[in-house]
Amino acid sequence: MNRSLIVLAISSVLGCVSASGPSAYSDALVVDFSSLVDSPATYDQEIVRVRGTYTVGFEASVLRETERGPQIWVELDSTYPKSTDPKVLRAFRKLLHRREGSEFLDRSARVVVVGRFHGVKPTVEFRGRTLTNGFGHLNAYDFKLTVLAVEVAKWSPW
């Protein structure tokens, strides 16, 4: 059996799929997760490529590096399916599919995504005061990533 068939078979079994062609976002900044959360203003409004674990569930849509570490709120841009390789998109959706009876359980996937990073919280003026909002559910998150493309999706235990 040739090597490419073996790699394909192993990837299928492990639930790992990555895009083989060039990304529509080849000029995105490659940034590690810790750099984003440690220096958020540096990357504010930049298109970044980042690796992490994407978790979705009841009142959650977050990217994180470790199970207990900082989290970035994630919103999927309406264009992400068109910018994502069809095989990766199918794997991503399959990994995060909500099964009947598991509405409140989180589902996770290890991913490499490209998105616009929001590292500075928005502010609003109200009755002469400047108020700072967060991102996501109950404005609880300090950062947001609007995902434009998913480049890698594979199974994650958490």
- Residue 146's Cβ-count burial label (10 Å; 0-12, 13-18, 19+) is middle
Cβ–Cβ < 8 Å for 49, 147: no
Residue 37 φ then ψ, to 5°: -80, -25
Reported in sequence order, the residue ranges of the chain that DSSP labels E, i.e. its strands, are 17-18, 29-30, 47-57, 60-64, 71-76, 107-118, 123-126, 129-132, 144-155
Which tens digits make up the pLDDT trace of 42-92? 999 999 999 999 999 888 999 999 988 999 999 999 999 999 999 999 999
Domain layout of the chain by residue ranges = 17-155
Whether the pLDDT of residue 158 is over 80: the answer is: no
Q: What pLDDT, on a 0 to 100 scale, did the predictor assign at position 104?
A: 67
Whether the pLDDT of residue 13 is over 50: the answer is: no
| CA 111 – CA 59 distance, rounded (Å) | 20
Strands 107-118 and 71-76: unpaired
| CA 48 – CA 144 distance, rounded (Å) | 12
Would the pTM count as exceeding 0.75? yes
CA angle 24, 67, 106 (to 5 degrees): 75
Thinking of the domain 17-155, which architecture would CATH place it in?
A: Beta Barrel (2.40)
Whether the pLDDT of residue 145 is over 60: the answer is: yes
Single out the residue of 80, 85, 115 nearest to residue 21, CA to CA. 85
Q: What confidence tier does 3 reach under pLDDT thresholds 50, 70, 90?
A: very low
